[in-house]
Structure 1
Amino acid sequence: MNERAHTYPTAWHAVADHLRHLGTTAVFGLPGDDMDLLAALEQTDTRFVICRDQRNAVFMATGYALASGRPGVCAVGKGPALTNTLTGVLEARSAAAPVVLIAGGTPLERLGTGAFQELDQLSVVRPLVKWAVRVDRADRLPAALDQAVAVAVNGTPGPVYVEIPEDLANEQVTRTAPWRPAAAQRLTPDPDVLADTAARIAAARRPLLLVGGGARHRNADRSLEAFAELLGAGLFTTASGRGTVAEDHPLFCGVSGLYTVAPVDRLWQEADLVIALGSRLEETATFGWPDADQLPVIQVVSGEDGLVTARPGIGVLGDVARTVHAWTGLLSGHTPDAAWTDRVSEVRQALAARADDRALEADRTAKDSGGVPVSRVLAALGRAVPEDRVLVQENGLQDMWSYFHPHWTCGARGGSVVPSEQTPLGFGAAAALGVALAEPGRPVVSVAGDGAFNLFRSELPTLADAGAGVLYVVLDNGGYGWLQTNLDRVSGSGSRFAFTADRPTGNEGLAAAYGLKYWRADNPGDLDRVLSAAWQHCASGTAAVVEVGVRLADSPPGMAGPAGDFPLREDE
C-alpha cells in the first residue's frame, strides 16, 4: 500500500488500518448493530475481544494500555452503549491510561429528530476525557484519529473519544499523508528548573524518593534505583507505581500513604524532602504524611494538570527518565548522609520482622474464627507463579493485603496493575484480561474479593473465548466485606441489613459452564497444592478460578478497623 496516500472503502476500514499502524494487537468492545468494524477487521491480524458489558471493555482496554504503554482501544455502539462505558472512562482518566474510545453515532441528518438511540454523546463524555470529537466529514477522519492518539499519549495520558456517525461509516475515506508517529514525546525539563531542584536535592539530608504511575515504562535501565543510591534515599512507590522499581532493592521500603505501616511510617515524619516521580500525590498516596506545610516536595509530572501546589516545594514538568538522568549528572559526586541511609536500612529490617509477626497474628485469628489467612494466600501464590508475574488487584477489604510490602512483593521482575483513586469494583478482574493480551506469555494473576468478582462474572465467556491463561484468586468473605465492617461499626452485629452472607458463590458452576477450571481452598494446608495445580493449568493457556474462604476479621496490616473511606490506623 502507498503509505503517502490511500483510499479506504469505508470509514471503519480506515480505523482498521490505523489500528495496524498503532501496533494494536487487541481491541475490546461490543459493536453496534452495523458490524462494519468487524467486517473491516476480518482480513487483518487485529483481535477484537467481544465483551458482554461495555464498562468491562473499557476496563480491559485500560489494563492493556497500562501494561503495554501503548494506547488501549475500545469500540462500542451508540446511545446506551456509550453511557455503559462511562465508569470505565472515569477509571481510565483517573489512572492516566491512554485509551481511545470509538463509538458509533446518530446519522448527522437525523440529529434532533428523536432518532433511534439518539443522544448528545459529546456532551455526555466530554467531562471524562482529554479530548472528544464527532467526525462530521469523512475526509476528516484520518486527522481525527491521529490527533486522538497524540492527545491520549502525551502530557498526562488519558482517554479520548472519537464518534463516527452511522451515515459516514460507509463513505470512502482518503488519507492524503502517512499516519503520524504514535509514540509519546518525552520532554526534558527546563535547564533552570533542573539546576534549582538539583541544588535543593543536594541540600537535603533525609530524602525520600516516591515513584508513581507516571514512571511506568521509564525505568528499563534501573536509573531510578541508581538515583536512590546516589542520594541514600528511602525508596517508596505509590500503589500505581508498583512494578517500576525492584522491590528487593535494599532501599525499598514499600508503598506510600495508606499502605505504609509501622515502623516504616516513621521515615515520613523524619524526612526533610520528598522527590515524587510521576505521582499526582493523590489522597491515598499521601495518607498519614506530615501536615502539608511541614514536608517539601519536588514533584515531577509530564503535564501541568498533575501539579500539586498545596505543599512547599517546586514542580518539574518533564519526563521522569529524562529528569532523573539530568539530575544524576548534576549531582555527580554527591555524598549521601550515611546516618540516614543506615536509618532506612534499620527501619526496612524492622518492617520485615513486623510483617512476620503480623502474619502470625493473622494465623492465630484464623484459628479462632476460621478461614484462610490472606497473608498465607499471598505467600503460596508467590511460590506457585513465576517471578515475572503481573499481579492485577482490586481494592476491597481482604485483597488489600496485597498492597502491603513485604506481604506481597513484585521483586525485581514482577509487575503490577491496580485501580486508581476511583477504585471501581470489578476493574482488576476485567483489566487482567487486557494485561494478559498486552503481554502474551507473561504470567498474569488477578486477586479479587468475591464482591468485585461478581461484577466481572458476565465476562467469563469472554475470558474463555480469549484463550488467556489468567489465574483468578477470589477471596470469598461472603460479599462486600468493607461495607459490612463499616455497617458493623455504626450498627453493631444486630443490624437488619447485611452486605455479606455465608452461602455458595456459584462460581464453580459458572466456571464449568464455560470450560474454565475451578478449585477451592478452605484450609491453609491446601494452598500450595491448589495454587500450584491452578497455575500449571493456566500456563497451558486456559484461565482458572481459585476460591479461598477468608474471614472479615482478617484485616490488612496496620488497620485497627474501618472508618468510612479510610481505615483507622493501629495507633489511632
Structure 2
Amino acid sequence: MGVIEMEPPTPDDVPAIHVVGEHRPGHHVRGAWHAVARLLAEAGVEVVFGLPDDDLDALGALHAVGVRLVVCRDQRNAVFMATGYALRSGALGVALVGKGPAVTNTVTGLLEAASSGAPVLLLSGGTAAERRGSGAFQELDQQAVVAPLVKSATRVEHPDRVAPAVRRAVLVATSGATGPVYVELPDHLLKVDVPVPPPAPPVERPASVPAPGDSAALDVLRNAQRPIVLVGGGMRHRGAGGAVERFAERVGAALSCTASGRGVVDESSVRFIGLAGLYASDRAKALWDDTDCVVVLGSRLEETATYGWPAALGTTVPVVQVNVDPAGVATQYAGPVVLGDGADVCAAWLEQVVDSAPVEWSKRVDEAHHGLRADHRRELADLAAKPGLHVVEVLAALDAELPADRVLVQENGLQDMWSYSFPRFECAHGAGSVVPSEQTSLGFGAAAAIGVKAASGDRPVVAFVGDGAFGLFDADLPTAAALGSGLLYVVLRNGGYGWLHSQLGPHNEALAGTAFVDRDAVTARAPHLRGVHQVTVTKESLRADVADAWRRSQDGEVVVLNVPARLEDAMFADHELGGAFPVAD
C-alpha cells in the first residue's frame, strides 16, 4: 500500500495562497503547472501522456518548456502508455489527468504499473482547498482512491511545496523497487506564484556491495551440479553488460526467464531454454524437474512464473533469490536471499565461483535449446501443409520480415499467448518484449504500445493483441496515428473474448446459451481513420502483408493487420490454465 502524504501546515492560510506577486527569495513562476513543467524538463522528461483538465493550463505549460503531451482519449490508456514508456526506456513515464472521474479512470492503469514495477508519475488536478466539503464539481478524496496502488500519494496544499513534492515523487518512483507515484495539484494553485529553487546535486546510486566470499549463497552455488538461472522483470535494462550470461557459463547453468524478463539475456545462447512456469516447454520442464539449484534474479516469483514447478524446489532444492527489494522476496521458498542488484551480484560472483556443473548437464541444456528450435521448424512445416492461417505462422512471418531489434508488445489472451512461447517468438538481446504484469489488465498491450513506440526511436514496435483487447483500446487509435512515428498492430480476431469462451466447455452445459464471442465479427476491421492503414491477411498474403506493413510503419503510418483466428488455434489443448500440449488445430 502506498503512503498518503499530507503536506504540513504553513503560516499562510488559504486566502493568502491566492495573493500573487508577493516577494520571496528564489525564482518564481506563475501557476503550479508551469512549475511542474519546468521540474519535469529538469528531470529529463520529454513526453507526457494524458488528457488535461478543462483549464488546459498544463497543456500550455508543457508546450512552453518543450515537453510533448500525447493527448489521449481515455485516462486509463494514458497510464498504460506511460507504463509502456517506462518499461521500454527504463526512464520515468508521466501521465496527466484532471480530477474526480478522471482519476478513478486511472486506477486500472496504476494497478498494472504497480504490478509491473514501472516508474510512473501520475499528475492530477484537484478540488481547491476552500471548496472541499462543499459538494464541489468533481470533488473526490483522490488520495484515498489511489494510495493502495502507488508508492506515495501527495496532495500539494501550498505553492512552496510544489517543487519539493514533485522532486521527491520522481526520486521515489525511480529508486529502489521502482513503481508508480501520485501528485495532486488542487485548483487553488493554478494562478499563484510558485517558487522553483535550483535543483540539488544529482542522487548517487553506487553499485551493490559484492557478496562476501563466505556467503551462504556462494556455498550453494559452489555445490550446485545442475543449476538454472531465472531472470525476472526486475532485471530490465540491467543485462547489457553480459554479466548474467558470463555467470551462467561459468557455473554451467541453464538460462530461463519470466515473461517480463525477456530481452535481458541472449535468447540465441545455447544455454537459453525459454520461459519458466506456465510457458515452459516439455523439454525445459525435464530440466526443471532435475535441477539441484535455482538462482532467481529480479523476480517476485509470481504464480505464472512458478506454475508447475516440482515440489522439491524451495524445499530440498535451494532457490537463491537476488532482489533489490526485500518485499519482492518470495519467502515460501527455502534458500539464501541476497539483497542487491542482480547484474552487480552476478559480476561479483564471477570473481568467487569456479566452473562447477558437470559436462553431462551442460550437454542436456544444449540439447534442449537445439531441440526446441528443431521442434519449431517441424511445426512450421506441418502447418504450411494445412489449410488456413495459424497464429504460429503469423509470428514466424513477423520474425522473417521485421528487423531483429523489433519490440513486441503483448496481451495475454487465448491466442496471443502463442507469443510467450520460445522460439515461436524470439527476443533479440536488449530488444525484448513488453508484457502485461500478473494482473494482465485487458487492453494494456494495445495502449502501452504507443508509449513503447515513443521510447523506441526507429525500432519497429509490434502490438500483438486479441480483438477483445483491441476493442477496449480503439478509442485511442487516433492517438497512435497522431504520434506520427509508425506502429504495427497485429489483431487476432476470434470474435471477442476467446479465453472466456473457451472456459464454457462441455462441462458447463448449463451455460450453453452464454457467448463471449461473435463468430460473425471475426473478419471485422478497425474504424477507418486517417493515418491508419489496415488489411485482412490470409495464409497466401501473410508474408507480403507483413513486409508492406513494415515499410508503411517506417513512413510513419499506423498499420492494423487483421488476422482471422479460429478458437481451436490455441496454445493449450484443454483450454485450461496449465494445459499440457500446444495445438494448432
Q: TM-score w.r.t. structure 2 length?
A: 0.91
Relative to structure 1, is the Cα distance of residues 140 and 489 closer, same or farther in structure 2, using a 3 angstrom cutoff? farther
The residue correspondences of 1:164-563 to structure 2 (distance < 5 A) are 164-179=185-200, 181=202, 185=205, 187-189=207-209, 191-192=211-212, 195-291=215-311, 292-331=314-353, 333-359=354-380, 367=387, 371-412=388-429, 414-492=431-509, 495-504=512-521, 508=525, 510=527, 512-521=528-537, 523-556=538-571, 559-563=572-576
Give the C-alpha shift of residue 224 in structure 1.
1.2
Counterpart among 34, 44, 63 of residue 13 in structure 1: 34
2: CA distance between counterparts of 1:316 and 1:14?
41
Give the C-alpha shift of residue 389 in structure 1.
0.6
2: CA distance between counterparts of 1:65 and 1:260?
27
Give the C-alpha shift of residue 359 in structure 1.
4.1
Contact 2:112–2:441, Cα closer than 8 Å, also in 1? yes
In structure 2, the partner of 1:568 is 579
Give the C-alpha shift of residue 38 in structure 1.
0.8
1:250-283 per-position Cα deviation (integer Å, ceiling 9, x unaligned): 1011011111021211111100111011111000
RMSD value, Cα:
2.0
Contact 1:433–1:468, Cα closer than 8 Å, also in 2? no
1: CA distance between counterparts of 2:250 and 2:258?
21
Relative to structure 1, is the Cα distance of residues 294 and 374 closer, same or farther in structure 2, using a 3 angstrom cutoff? farther
Relative to structure 1, is the Cα distance of residues 236 and 222 closer, same or farther in structure 2, using a 3 angstrom cutoff? same
Contact 2:211–2:349, Cα closer than 8 Å, also in 1? no
Contact 1:74–1:101, Cα closer than 8 Å, also in 2? yes
Count of residue correspondences: 556
Contact 1:189–1:319, Cα closer than 8 Å, also in 2? no
2: CA distance between counterparts of 1:305 and 1:48?
34
Give the C-alpha shift of residue 162 in structure 1.
0.3
Give the C-alpha shift of residue 57 in structure 1.
0.2
1: CA distance between counterparts of 2:234 and 2:460?
23
Contact 1:100–1:161, Cα closer than 8 Å, also in 2? yes
Query: Where in structure 1 are there 5+ consecutive unaligned residues?
Result: none
2: CA distance between counterparts of 1:421 and 1:317?
23
The residue correspondences of 1:109-124 to structure 2 (distance < 5 A) are 109-124=130-145
Aligned structure 1 segments of 4 or more residues deviating by more than 6 angstroms: none
Give the C-alpha shift of residue 43 in structure 1.
2.2
2: CA distance between counterparts of 1:300 and 1:198?
12
Give the C-alpha shift of residue 46 in structure 1.
1.1
2: CA distance between counterparts of 1:270 and 1:535?
43
AA partner of residue 459 (structure 2): R
Give the C-alpha shift of residue 125 in structure 1.
0.5
Give the C-alpha shift of residue 386 in structure 1.
0.8
Q: Which moved more, 1:187-196 or 1:161-170?
A: 187-196
1:86 aligns with 2:107: yes
SS of the aligned residue for 1:75 comes to strand
Relative to structure 1, is the Cα distance of residues 517 and 59 closer, same or farther in structure 2, using a 3 angstrom cutoff? same
Give the C-alpha shift of residue 5 in structure 1.
4.7
Contact 1:555–1:561, Cα closer than 8 Å, also in 2? no
SS of the aligned residue for 2:282 comes to coil
In structure 1, the partner of 2:154 is 133
In structure 1, the partner of 2:8 is none
Give the C-alpha shift of residue 504 in structure 1.
3.7
1: CA distance between counterparts of 2:579 and 2:525?
36
Q: Which moved more, 1:382-391 or 1:346-355?
A: 346-355
1:129-175 per-position Cα deviation (integer Å, ceiling 9, x unaligned): 11111011110111111111111111211000001111012221112
AA partner of residue 324 (structure 1): C
2: CA distance between counterparts of 1:74 and 1:431?
12
Contact 1:194–1:327, Cα closer than 8 Å, also in 2? no
Contact 2:27–2:195, Cα closer than 8 Å, also in 1? yes
2: CA distance between counterparts of 1:319 and 1:70?
17
1: CA distance between counterparts of 2:557 and 2:436?
25
AA partner of residue 392 (structure 2): S
1: CA distance between counterparts of 2:524 and 2:61?
36
Give the C-alpha shift of residue 562 in structure 1.
2.2
Relative to structure 1, is the Cα distance of residues 310 and 509 closer, same or farther in structure 2, using a 3 angstrom cutoff? closer
AA partner of residue 139 (structure 1): D
Q: TM-score w.r.t. structure 1 length?
A: 0.93
Q: Which moved more, 1:169-178 or 1:500-509?
A: 500-509
Relative to structure 1, is the Cα distance of residues 347 and 126 closer, same or farther in structure 2, using a 3 angstrom cutoff? same
Relative to structure 1, is the Cα distance of residues 409 and 323 closer, same or farther in structure 2, using a 3 angstrom cutoff? same
1:490-513 per-position Cα deviation (integer Å, ceiling 9, x unaligned): 335981111112224686461x33
Relative to structure 1, is the Cα distance of residues 73 and 480 closer, same or farther in structure 2, using a 3 angstrom cutoff? same
2: CA distance between counterparts of 1:182 and 1:88?
28
1: CA distance between counterparts of 2:511 and 2:332?
43
Sequence identity percentage: 47
1:57 aligns with 2:78: yes
1: CA distance between counterparts of 2:137 and 2:242?
54
SS of the aligned residue for 1:437 comes to helix
2: CA distance between counterparts of 1:514 and 1:314?
57
Relative to structure 1, is the Cα distance of residues 75 and 254 closer, same or farther in structure 2, using a 3 angstrom cutoff? same
SS of the aligned residue for 1:567 comes to coil
SS of the aligned residue for 2:160 comes to helix
In structure 2, the partner of 1:36 is 57
2: CA distance between counterparts of 1:237 and 1:208?
10
1: CA distance between counterparts of 2:35 and 2:137?
26
